[in-house]
Every structure is written in structure tokens, then in C-alpha cells.
Amino acid sequence: MLGSWLKTFLPGRRSIPDKAAEPDFDPQTLPWIDRPEADLEGYLRGLSKAEQDMFGPALRSWRDLGYAIFPQAVSHELIDAYLADIEELYAQRRWRALVLGESFGVQPVQALSRETLEGEHHLRLMDFHNHSVAGKKLALNAKAVTFLRHVFQDEVVAMQSLTFIHGSEQWTHQDFPYVVAQIPSHLAASWIALEDVHPDAGPLGYFPGSHRLPKFNFGNGLFLTPESPLREDAFREHLERHCAARGIERQVFLPRKGDMFVWHAALAHGGTKVNNPNLTRKSFVTHYSSLRAYPRDRRAPEVIPRRWTWNGAHLYENPLLPEEENAFRRGEAVE
């Protein structure tokens, strides 16, 4: 289920690695914090007191549990600007921003009615940050990019974004088989609550410490490809079985508007069941890599990309729709 949707738009190459019984990330290119010899406490002592206080607990959580939580990471003003951009997009529907839905696949917004957009509960608005300055600033918010700069020890690049209005109800999965940079382990994601999330709205579920589980072999390596003999159902079963064997129970993230959850490439997570379909679960997801691992945009890898930079991190302008870049400018007035 998951891969059949994601393969239509998620970034990265889908090369097939050498077959192996237990494929894994290349230990030579792992982020330093994922290496067995990593001296996190020594690293933290080299930071200022303010940095230690701000990022020390988050880095320890990342190392041990595979995620970090940042309460009130972004302003409500910025969120409101982004939600106003989406409302304008839905009301006018004259842009070619892409949406993904179970009933219609991938379509530009201008091809769909407002009733269809609002009635599709598993809809994903794809890379709307290219159209929206507010979306760009959400993706490159200071807490996320500063934290990930510590993780990657490199400049941070936002690879893509997804905007959800309702709970996704996605199966348990890890991101790296779908979202692939040139260095697959250089991957992280953030999930920002655009509103307070109700327990019945299908909140994000995650398995603490699951980033250390044995990697799943799709039959031709780490990454799901059209040729992979094993599919998403086997992937889900592998993750949930290994979590159960280690006593790792699923936790649920119930954030307030503005809270942010940042997770490791290999953290098992998914969307929990939506018990009340009348409830929304507005959220903004960004996947990140390092500049070294993601030097070109997936949509035109042969082209030197135009960068948009904020807080010392980057994202690439859409080379396929340059005339619609930053069409929604409300975010310019918001820090």
C-alpha cells in the first residue's frame, strides 16, 4: 500500500544494491552520531552552554531512541500564513501544485474540484513549499536545521515536503527504502503539527529505539524497487515482529499546534487509525539530507539547482515550475 503511493513522487535514485542476507547502511558514510564509537558527551562538551541546554537532550534522544521532540518549534503566525496559502490554493485552484490521493493518483490541484480535494481523506499535498514562502520557512525552521546540522555535520537540505489535512493511516514503515539520497543514511524527517491533534484523528505512531533494528531485505537489497520480490506487507511484518521481540511498544505523538517531531531515517513509524473521520490532523512533513548526499534536485538531477536558503540550510526551487515558485508570499512578513 505505502510504496505503491510513495514511488510516484518521493525523491532519490532507486539503484539496486548487491544482494545480501542482511543489507545495511555503509558504515563508512554513517552520520557520526550513528557510529558505535561516537563520543556524544565529548561532542556536547565542545558546545556552548546554551547549545548544550538546547540540543543536548535532543541529541541523546536521537542516539538512543531515534527521534527528538521540540515543543513550539515554529510560530503560530507562520503556521496560519501557511494554512491561508492552502485555503487560497483550494479556493482558486489555478496552480499546478501536485496532490496525491487514493482515488485519483497524482494530479495538479487545478484539475480537481474543491469537493474532491476536501473529500479525499488520505490526500497529500506534495512539495507545496515550492509555491509557498511560509512552507519554505516551516521546512527550514531554525530548530530543525540547527539540530540536523549537528547530526549530519554538514549543511542541511530539505529534499521534499508533504502536507496532510487528515490522518494518513500509513502502515508501519521506515523512510529510507523510499526516500533515497546519494548517501542513504543521510536522511531525517520532521513532522510539524499545524493544529492541536486529537487522539481520535489518527496521530503519528512511532516505535522508540527501532532505528537500531536489523534492516529489511526486499529481496534485492535495502530499497523498494519495481523489481523487489518482497513488498510493503512483508516490510511491515518484519518491523512489527522485531519490535515485539525487543519489547518495543508503539507510542503516540499528541502535539499542540507548533510542536515538532524529528526522526531518524530508520525509525519505524506510521499513521494510527482515524477513529473519528470528521476530525482533521493538519500536519507538515519534511524530509532532509546533507548537502553532500543530496547535491541536486530529484526532479531534474542533470541541472544545477537554484537554491533557496534560510537559517543556513537549503531547499531547491522546482525546476519544472519556475513560474509558480513563491506564488504565495504571506510568509515573507513572518519570521
pLDDT bracket for residue 22 (50, 70, 90): low
pLDDT of 85 > 90? The answer is: yes
Question: Taking 50 as the threshold, does the pLDDT of residue 7 lie above it?
Answer: no
Distance, in Å, from the CA atom of 76 to the CA atom of 113, rounded to the nearest integer, reads 29
For the segment 277-290, the average pLDDT, to the nearest whole number, is 98
β-strands 98-101, 105-108 pairing: antiparallel
160-182 pLDDT, tens per residue? 999 999 999 999 999 999 999 99
Tell me what the mean pLDDT of segment 225-249 comes to. Answer: 96
Does residue 73 carry a pLDDT above 50? yes
Question: Does 205 score more than 90 pLDDT?
Answer: yes
User: Which helix (DSSP H) or strand (DSSP E) does residue 288 occupy?
Assistant: strand 283-290
In Å, how far are 53, 110, 185, 264 from 209, measured between CA atoms? 23, 42, 16, 10
Quote the pLDDT of residue 16.
38
The answer to whether residue 276 scores a pLDDT higher than 70 is: yes
Residue 15 reports pLDDT greater than 60: no
C-alpha span between 314 and 307 (Å, rounded): 6
Largest CA distance in the chain: 56
What is the DSSP code (8-state) at residue 88? Answer: H
CA gyration radius for the chain? 19
Please state, in angstroms and as integers, the Cα–Cα distance from residue 227 to each residue in 42, 219, 221, following that order.
44, 9, 11
pLDDT given at position 2: 42
- Average pLDDT (26-44) is 97
Residue 318 has pLDDT above 50, yes or no: yes
